[in-house]
Amino acid sequence: MLNGSYLYHLAKCYRDAIKDANINFDSIYGPAYKGIFLGSIVTLILSKNGEKYPLSFNRKEIKDHGEGGNIIGHDPIGDVLIIDDVISAGTAAKESIKSIESLGANPKIVLVGLDRQEKGQDSLSAKEELEKDFGVIVKSIVNLDSLIQFSKQSADFKTYIDQLEEYRLNWGA
């Protein structure tokens, strides 16, 4: 169940991944839809240590009334950390990168909770394609391999091993 405690622990996981990877950046961008709240909770937890980063996120549909436009919050500036829940084919990350570049900022890092380690267009994984084609760093809190390994060691999750292995067989890089 999604609640404040869950979100707090999730934010700490993202914060720890940022610190462990020694990631430096100037602003945070959360792509719609899940990236909006993920970017918000990460910005909030980083501010507890005095780290203040401008936050922006996009709309799926451009708004032509009110504040209008496609970006909400501060326009992305400098080196941008893109925060999202998962990387599958990399489509959302590619769209975010192009949007950030169009605003004059530098998409530097993509941080996701789960890298599904899916095939990209060629022989590379979606993560590897993003790194090669766009020059960004892609990090994840967990990936499919670590999820399978965890499931093998946990009595509560052993029932998912066959499904995870089948997913990797069908979609994995």
pLDDT averaged over every residue in the chain = 92
How many CA atoms, within 13 angstroms, populate the side-chain half-sphere of residue 18? 24
pLDDT at 68: 59
Asked if 91 and 120 count as a contact pair (C-beta separation under 8 A), the reply is no
Q: Could you tell me which residues come within 8 angstroms of residue 93 by beta carbon, excluding any fewer than 6 positions away?
A: 31, 82, 84, 87, 110, 130, 136, 138
Pair type for strands 69-73 and 55-63: antiparallel
**One of 12, 63, 98, 158 is an active-site residue; which one?**
63
Tokens linked to 78: 């400098």
Q: Which domain holds residue 47?
A: 4-171
Q: How many domains does the chain have?
A: 1
Q: Catalytic residue at 65? A: yes
Give the domain CATH number at 48: 3.40.50.2020
Sheet containing strand 137-143, edge to edge, reads 69-73, 55-63, 27-30, 79-87, 106-115, 137-143
pLDDT at 120: 85
- What is the tens place of the pLDDT at every residue in 69-120? 788 899 999 999 999 999 999 999 999 999 999 999 999 999 999 999 998 8
Q: Could you tell me which residues come within 8 angstroms of residue 90 by beta carbon, excluding any fewer than 6 positions away?
A: 120, 126, 127, 129, 130
Q: Catalytic residue at 74? A: no
Q: Is 104 helix (H, G, I), strand (E, B) or coil?
A: coil
